[in-house]
Amino acid sequence: MKPLLAAVFSGFMLALAASPPRAAPNTRTPAFGELPEVQEFIAEMRIRHGFDAAPLTRQFASIRSNSAVLKAIQPTAAPELQRSWNRYSARFLNARRLTLGWFFWQKHADTLARAEAVYGVAPEIIVAIIGVETEYGRNTGKFGVLEALSTLAFGYPPRAAFFRRELEQFLLMARENETSPLDYKGSYAGAVGIPQFMPGSQRHYAVDFDGDGRVDLRHSAADAIGSVARFLNMHGWQSGAPIAMPVNVDGDAAALIAAGVKPSLSWRETRARGVVPLAADSGRCADDATVALIYLVSPDQPGEYWIGFDNFYVITRYNRSSFYAMSVFLLAESLRGAQEANASRAFAGEALGEKAEPTQQP
């Protein structure tokens, strides 16, 4: 190395050695306890509900914004994942969910019958909702509920007000149950337990149906069954009333679809506007019954038209999606068919003098 170049290089190395290393950029999000808006929320919980600020501060200091929650709550922009009834329904209307639902019904038949007697909701509807929500308690969610709700309450502006209210309800619920908020696992949106109730719904609609003195939707199937039935009952469920029926549409259905899933037109007026009942279902609806036109769309395939009655609308109070409500209804119909078929086989066996035992699957 030439003397001048060697001197320059030596000086550069000495200067580099004497300079402090540059700190790596801090990409980690701050703990919730550090955020002013969270500190304000803690102060509100102390004033409004008498919470001790110190434990709340420690709990919020132990959690941070969860990027997976924020990703899950965002509507997809991928064309291949656009709204599709065929793709959505395939997740729930399949042999596995039907078989597991049938076994769930057999295991909890007495509790389901009691729920129907108290709240007027048929067993197949209760079983179908639990099946769609968590596959009968098998998939109740792995997100920390306090972290998920905090992420959405303080990091998702489109629905921050809603999730802040749910966070408040969650902390009240945990205190009432004498459990730590950090102990709860649930969905990315903060829904908890076998029936996936949001905290506000649990506090307002859930019921101690097993009589042990507390509401436990995470571990008690009886509490889950009773709570689903009570939720539907308190939202206007009509015992024995129809839910939905398939129809054809002769003409432009856009205005009827745009009216939404809440029944607002009479069946007589709906027929006058081009809705044609299928032959097998033509006598199921009184002329003055209020109905809604439901359209189940699948890209690049013909959609399905259905009439939704008041009970269909009640199911959408559980989850505000026509896809969801229709999946519940159709799974319930399949479950009822399996139950009736099994009962018929058992009756036939008894009539022939054979021992009546349930089949092992629907």
Q: Is a pLDDT exceeding 70 seen at residue 347? A: no
Domain count, the chain: 1
Q: Quick one: tokens of 260?
A: 């939404």
Q: Please report whether residue 334 resides in a domain.
A: no
Which amino acid does the sequence have at 247? Answer: V
Q: Please report whether residue 21 resides in a domain.
A: no
Q: Please report whether residue 198 resides in a domain.
A: no
Q: Among the residues of 29-122, which ranges form H helices?
A: 36-49, 53-61, 67-73, 85-90, 95-107, 109-119
Q: Please report whether residue 291 resides in a domain.
A: yes
Q: Is 133 considered catalytic here?
A: yes
Report pLDDT for 8: 36
pLDDT digits (tens, 9 = 90+) for 21-37: 444 444 578 999 999 99
pLDDT digits (tens, 9 = 90+) for 29-68: 899 999 999 999 999 999 999 999 999 999 999 999 999 9
- Do residues 149 and 167 touch, judged by C-beta distance below 8 A? yes
3-state secondary structure 196-259: CECHHHHHHHCCCCCCCCCCCCCCCHHHHHHHHHHHHHHCCCCCCCCCEEEEEECCCCHHHHHC
Range(s) of the domain holding residue 278: 244-308
Q: Please report whether residue 239 resides in a domain.
A: no
Q: Please report whether residue 211 resides in a domain.
A: no
The residue with tokens 């209804």 is 329
Element (H, E) at 171: helix 160-176
- Active-site entry in 116, 133, 147, 166: 133
Q: Please report whether residue 270 resides in a domain.
A: yes
Longest Cα pair distance anywhere in the chain, in angstroms? 111
Of residues 52 and 341, more confidence is placed in 52
